[in-house]
A and B are shown apart, each in its own frame.
Chain A
Amino acid sequence: MNFNFKYMFEIIPELLTYVPVTLYIAIASMIIAIIIAIFLSLILVNRIPVLHQLALVYISFFRGTPPLVQLLMIYFGLPQLLPSFNSITAMTAAILAFSLNVSAYLAEIFRAGLESVDKGQAEAALTTGMTYSQALRSIILPQAARNAIPATGNTFLGLLKNTSLAFTIGVTELLAQGKLLATATLHFFEAYMAVALIYWGLTALYSWLQSWYEKKISKAYVREI
């Protein structure tokens, strides 16, 4: 067996310098996706005519087509359609594609989260004189968020791994650098294994953070003895 452990560990520090790029794509896309998804889920829950149907088509499309196809469509296809996108960078295209893709998944998760909040919570808020949007902000969304966090976390893990697709349009992130090293030295397995280990480390760290956070925000819902 020809496997060079030493090489694998040697290139890890160099690969780690690309982790910020990967995290930047993942976190920026996640934030934009969350904002889009909040609006989409409110449209779904309140069944706002026309927008409701449009939201359903949007969700169906972005969940029903491969993220790689969406990425290529946005990076190569959009400038052809709309000339103002001519100067779109690969990084921006990647963040845009992942935001749209993830928002479709999150919209359904948030919808379920909102619907899991007892109707009585909103009613009580209204009877104390709050408006619906005030009730939403301080009473309903916090409870919906708590219900939605486990599934949202899963989606983020998926996104973190999917950012590797960005290398196909030329973004030099973690996988792109790994591929570069692999072809330069012909240590394919070592280089990709090192990349895999770093993704694994990131997702494990994130999972740990999430379970800590879930415990923290569950305080209100655990009976004191």
Chain B
Amino acid sequence: MIKVSNLKKSYKNNQVLKDISFHVDEGEVVAIIGPSGSGKSTLLRCLNFLENPNEGHIEIGGVSVDTTKAAKKEIHQLRLQTSMVFQHYNLFKNITALKNVSHPLRVTKKLDKKKAEAIGRHLLEQVGLSNKADHYPISLSGGQQQRVGIARALAVNPNAILFDEPTSSLDPEWVGEVLRVISGIADKDKTMIIVTHEMNFAREVADRVIFMDDGSIVEQGTPEEVFDSPANDRTKRFLRDYQRQITGKADNKNERFAIV
């Protein structure tokens, strides 16, 4: 389904992706974890050319692109293979929730208004937002906006959906509902790549976990392999720090509660 070979990306002298190769099978859910600045999001954004890779080969759903000499048309074809859910939702601010889902269908698939909106309403219902169809993004909570974002990504019915830290800018109270919606899709055999900081979620939803550090894939395997018996020292350190941070947070809370 997705095959990436020898992908490289630098900003000036800073090499962000160092010769990345990996593949994702059809229907597989892959979680990419790793410290901030390790290149996770850049890797995801190279797959749909929101960032231009410097070198390497990307193949998604039968469309194969040599990134050193990608023509506009090829890039467009590659983009049609995936859709994306963004950290900051990026809902179209000038149109309603329903139109956010249906408008791309009208433009890219030339569906008539009725058909596109029927699909839109169906998907909004799936993410539990039928009653918000006519609301503009500004009137929706973060969690609701992200669920519309997921409906929009589903609408174009791509070969794969890319999730770029879908819960990182959500208030804690909304994280659960968004993760539930994503898990719901994962169960339906959609191919997905999820960049996330939610380790428990990654363990639960992913078929495979990729750990990235400093622009390289350091380790990958089933969630059990990576989380329970990591082989690489960097993975171990990252998971230990993560664990400490999580429990540390809890301790702080307890202390504060104790003082109150």
A residues in contact (CB < 8 Å) with B: 118, 120-121, 123-131, 134, 138-139, 142-143, 146, 219-224
Contact = CB atoms under 8 A, between A and B. Distances in A.
Interface residues of B, number: 30
A221 B92 CA distance: 11
17 contacts: A121-B93, A123-B50, A124-B86, A124-B90, A124-B152, A125-B104, A127-B50, A128-B155, A129-B104, A130-B108, A138-B103, A143-B93, A146-B94, A220-B93, A220-B94, A220-B96, A220-B138
B107 A134 contact: yes
Majority secondary structure of chain A interface residues (helix, strand, loop or mixed): helix
B191 interface: no
Interface of B: 48, 50, 76, 79-80, 82-84, 86, 88, 90-96, 103-104, 107-108, 135-136, 138-139, 152-153, 155-156, 162
Given A126-B48, A130-B104, A143 B94 contact: yes
Nearest to B91: A124
Contact of B108 (A120, A128, A142, A219): A128
The 8 closest A-B CB pairs, nearest first, are: A128-B104, A120-B90, A124-B90, A129-B108, A127-B84, A224-B139, A220-B136, A142-B94
B156 A129 contact: yes
B156 A123 contact: no
Contact of A127 (B83, B96, B138): B83
Contacts of B104: 125, 128-130
B187 to A, nearest CB: 23
B47 to A, nearest CB: 10
